[in-house]
Amino acid sequence: MKDIFENPLVERYASKEMLENFSPKKKYSLWRKLWIALAEAEKELGLPITDEQIEEMKKYAEDINFEDAEEFEKYTRHDVMAHVLAYGKQCPKAKPIIHLGATSAYVGDNTDIILMRDGLRILKKKLINVINNLAEFAIKYKDLPTLGFTHFQPAQLTTVGKRATLWIYDLLLDLKDIEYTEENLLPRGVKGTTGTQASFLKLFEGDEEKVKTLDKMIAEKFGFKKSIPVSGQTYTRKIDSFVLRVLQGIAESAHKFANDVRLLSGLKEIEEPFEKTQVGSSAMAYKKNPMRCERMTALSRFVIVNGLNPYITASCQWFERTLDDSANRRLVIPEMFLATDAILNIFINVSAGLIVNEKIIEKHVKEELPFIATENILMESVKKGGDRQELHEAIRVYSRETQEEIKEGKANNLIDKILKDQRFKISKEEIEKMLEPRNYIGRSSSQVVEFIEVEVKPYLKKYSDFLGMSAVLKV
């Protein structure tokens, strides 16, 4: 029996890929690779570091002696120093030059930026697949009339495909946000204890150009064009806010989609996938609850609310740094990425298997269409000489009567009432033509095609290598 708390993000929701991205193995391997990169660059710029020392460091870059590090941290109370000592224990020849000139933020901050960058790439791949799934769905159902809703009250018709474009557009904005963030994300680089680079200026005997070159070399070794221009001991924590607000945006879009599907599920119009052996309720065996979309909304809420943390953390940093950011960031950054990853896993799964109940949709359209058609009936009757104000009042009275009758379980007989009123001067055949649902969808079909062709397909083409992903949920 498991007798200690387990994080549901790890056990139930997040993918192996994202869990590995924020794993201790990757984190501390990156620390060691940053130390190796620092030693290589310092050697290249003239410091007395040997190839033998660097090779020794490379040998143990992935072979982390975690138990030693844990023991060292017990008495140093400092995670970076503990890992410096643990690495030095494995690399006795390199021990004197490991972390030379650097402060803890050199490995901590640069690693965090790399992990967030790699995490964004994982999310981007999944986001593209959701967009592709919904684009195919939108095209398939671009012509299917459905009730539009404003205030969750029946409104003018749209199409199932047109509604899907609203979901896609939100996600397209998120994709553009990811691209912008990736393009502008920079590491801390090599800045020293308070950001002045004083320790490196001392190492290079006052040669500022070498210090500047060192900073640029480290950034380039990890796939960045340059590092941030200035810092205190840490990079400004606004960068965390800058990155994590992208995750909030994805959660915001996912929450909207999932809520819509939950409402449509209640109407029995569109449902999420439901497996043959799936249980909807432990008591009510007949139920088909939209549990995947409910989980999406729950996780999205977690991400949206948790996204407040980086703003508060950034605003509370004193001068060059204070450590009240550390414990908070250890939780918030990985957990927001893991939760957003879980959201997109569900999103891929649901968007690939949406069930459209066309007969139910058609039934609901027919039930409301007489009300929706009244404006056209009014206009046509006025053209034939009717009094607009008089007919408007008649429609209002008949509509209210009919709505009350519907509440009593009777059929919608609004059209019959209008046909019996000679003031409308309109035939049954004419009204039947007006009751064709396609007359009320406007440019919905064309809008879907235009939107997919012009706005979506260029991104699907750009990221075609990402497509073809499916998501099997753990639970």
Q: Could you give the residue numbers annotated as active site?
A: 151, 281
Residue 255's alpha-carbon distances to 252, 303, 405, 429, in angstroms, are 5, 10, 36, 45
Residue partners of 268: CB distance under 8 A and separation at least 6: 357, 360
Contact 198, 212 (CB under 8 A): no
435 vs 373: CA distance, rounded Å:
7
Token readout for 363 is 């039934």
**Torsion sign over Cα 67, 68, 70, 71:** positive
**Torsion sign over Cα 156, 159, 160, 166:** negative
Q: Reduced to 3 DSSP states, what percent helix, strand and coil does the chain have, rounded to the nearest 5?
A: 65, 5, 30
Residue 192's alpha-carbon distances to 30, 100, 401, in angstroms, are 18, 10, 78
Residue 414's alpha-carbon distances to 49, 304, 349, 377, 446, in angstroms, are 90, 46, 42, 12, 31
Q: How far is it between the farthest Cα atoms of the chain?
A: 103
341 vs 299: CA distance, rounded Å:
10
Contact 54, 40 (CB under 8 A): yes
Burial of 67 (0-12, 13-18, 19+ CB in 10 A): exposed
102 vs 218: CA distance, rounded Å:
12
DSSP state of 189: -
471 vs 352: CA distance, rounded Å:
9
Burial of 220 (0-12, 13-18, 19+ CB in 10 A): middle
Contact 36, 53 (CB under 8 A): no
